[in-house]
Amino acid sequence: MTSSDFSQALLVTSKRFILNSSRTSKQGTLINVGKESPEYRALTNTVTMAAEDMAEIGLAAGQMALVRTEFGEAAFKAEAGKVPQGMIFIPYGPPTCQLMGGDTDGTGMPTSKGWEVDVVPL
């Protein structure tokens, strides 16, 4: 998707959300399988949203969605889940690294919670 395609899609289906990202307990159990395993990759390539938010932007469960921050963008498979409306959740992983800036506020870990992001169905 080119920048102009993305800009056009934003005009039609975009909505701003608050992104929260963290490690999940399932990631902890999958570490024994390895970060390169299909199970781990599937988990870290999934965005969870409220079903109402998905419906509002025309995003179906299982459909890919582009998540864009001021630093970058990545595509994720969408699923409905127990997430407050207006918020999305993505487990830490290689795709979320594409969304993060380099500022760590002195912690050594880039800020990964409370970002405003655009979500666009693909």
pLDDT digit string, tens, across residues 52-103: 999 999 999 999 999 999 999 999 999 999 999 999 999 988 898 888 876 6
pLDDT digit string, tens, across residues 2-60: 655 555 544 556 789 999 988 888 877 777 777 788 888 888 999 999 999 999 999 99
Please count the structural domains in the chain.
1
CATH assignment at residue 43: 2.40.40.20
- Looking up tokens 């993305």, which residue turns up? 6
Domain of 42 in residue numbering reads as: 3-121
Tell me, yes or no, if the pTM score tops 0.85.
Answer: no
Averaged pLDDT for residues 95-119: 76
Strand extents, DSSP E, the chain:
15-22, 46-49, 64-68, 73-80, 87-91, 113-121
Contact between 43 and 91 under an 8 Å Cβ cutoff? The reply is yes
Please give the pLDDT value at position 100: 84
Cα angle 61, 17, 71; round to 5: 105
**Contact partners, residue 76, CB within 8 Å, separation at least 6:** 45, 46, 47, 64, 65, 67, 90, 95
Instruction: Tell me how far apart the alpha carbons of residues 67 and 50 are, in angstroms, rounded to a whole number.
Output: 15
- C-alpha of 6 from chain center: 16
Instruction: Tell me how far apart the alpha carbons of residues 12 and 19 are, in angstroms, rounded to a whole number.
Output: 21
